[in-house]
Amino acid sequence: MDEDASSSGRVRELPARLRAPGLAPWQQNLYVLWFGSLIVSASFSLVMPFLPLYLVQLGLRGDPSLWSGAVLAGAFLGTAVMSPVWGTLADRFGQRAMLLRSGFSLALIYLLMGYAQTPLQLAVLRVLFGMMSGFIPASTALVASNTPTQALGRALGALQTGGAVGGVLGPLFGGVIAHLVGFRGAFTLSAAGLFLGATLAFLFVGERVQAGPARGLGALLTDLRGLLQSGSLRAAYGVLFLMQLGLMMAAPVLPLVIAARAGRASVLAVGLLFSLAGVAQVIGAPFTARLGKRWSYAAVLAASLAAAGLLMLPQAFAGIGGLAAARLAFGVALAWATVSVNLIVARAAPEGHRGQAFGLLNTVTSLGSMAATLAGGFAGDLLGWSWAIVLSGGFFMVAAALALWAMRAGRLPRVREA
């Protein structure tokens, strides 16, 4: 990497031989990370919908919803613990270093998951997975920090589309792959995809980093407290926490619901129906900037969360056809909400602290997901699978109400796309 001296830090960019002619550095980053996010998201989602079914293959007996919630929660626990650390290191060394750290380590962990022999081994590997995760959040933060302000909304929407395309391809092909070569083969292919995504980032992603001095734990805590003084960030994090409760509470039970309703084609149906939400995110994400231009990202966030909450009801009780239609519409709403909250955080974060702001966002996301998957597992075991999905819709509605209140109170700025 080239390094030039700067009075405010070191500036690192790709050497000229690795820069695409006719593209600004931020555009090359966006295109490479779009494809890298697609590959990484596909690798994640290739096996994620099948974890409850994989637990049964590992010898789990009885209702798997409780163990499914615990295994899913383990990853979010690891992410919540480590995200502030990675965010601080990103502000010092850059987001590119976090991309590489995450991508290569997760490739190894996914390979090991394919060789797990017991549910406990899988749970431990999921915790390690969470501790080392962060490829897609680091991609988002890198794009947010290296893209001109006037193009930021469009860039984040495009990046979200890349992850959504991967979310389509992963479950879609994952169902076929798991059907043909089994769950262990799917884990091996996921590991290969993660390795490829990290390699692309290593070769073709550059970054302008204002590298600061080494800082201790006390400085980290001071910076985090400073970030939380922002009313806009506090509101965005609160909405995001409730949004993750809604999104992930259904995760331990929804694959089981789909499999039960699909009958003999259960594995293929799980993959297909999970991919439908990703199809809708691909369609919906690019339109977020257009909606933000007409209204504001806070208004788009509130409306899309309310729509997502309502669309959980048919997923709880409808047959396969109704469930598929609801998954499509739900994916559009989820895409609009995700892009909107990311852009609100990017705009509200102080200059030079976006890495920490997105690291804290990742922590909030992980805490919400951890609480939700545990609660979803318990609710599925105690109340039944469908009622766990209904409860998840309720959290989306509460998140929408909080976003609306925060917007009217001036806590969520009515930022519009330029």
Closest C-alpha to 166, from 272, 326, 282: 282
Mean pLDDT of the chain: 79
Say yes or no to pLDDT of 86 above 60.
yes
The two counts, helices (H) then strands (E), for the chain are 16, 2
Q: Please state the rounded mean pLDDT for residues 7-28.
A: 66
Residue predicted with more confidence, 345 or 359: 345
Helices of type H across 205-253 = 217-227, 231-249
Number of other residues whose CB lies within 10 A of the CB of residue 415 = 18
Phi, psi of 2 (to 5 degrees): -75, 145
Say yes or no to pLDDT of 4 above 60.
no
> Can you give the residue ranges of every domain in the chain?
22-206+227-408
CATH superfamily, domain 22-206+227-408, is MFS general substrate transporter like domains (1.20.1250.20)
pLDDT in tens, 48-80: 777 777 888 888 776 677 787 788 788 878 877
Q: Please, which pLDDT band fits residue 229 given cuts at 50, 70 and 90?
A: low
User: What is the pLDDT, as a whole number, of residue 165?
Assistant: 78
Residue predicted with more confidence, 35 or 225: 35
Q: Please, which pLDDT band fits residue 234 given cuts at 50, 70 and 90?
A: confident
- pTM score, two decimals? 0.66
Say yes or no to pLDDT of 293 above 50.
yes
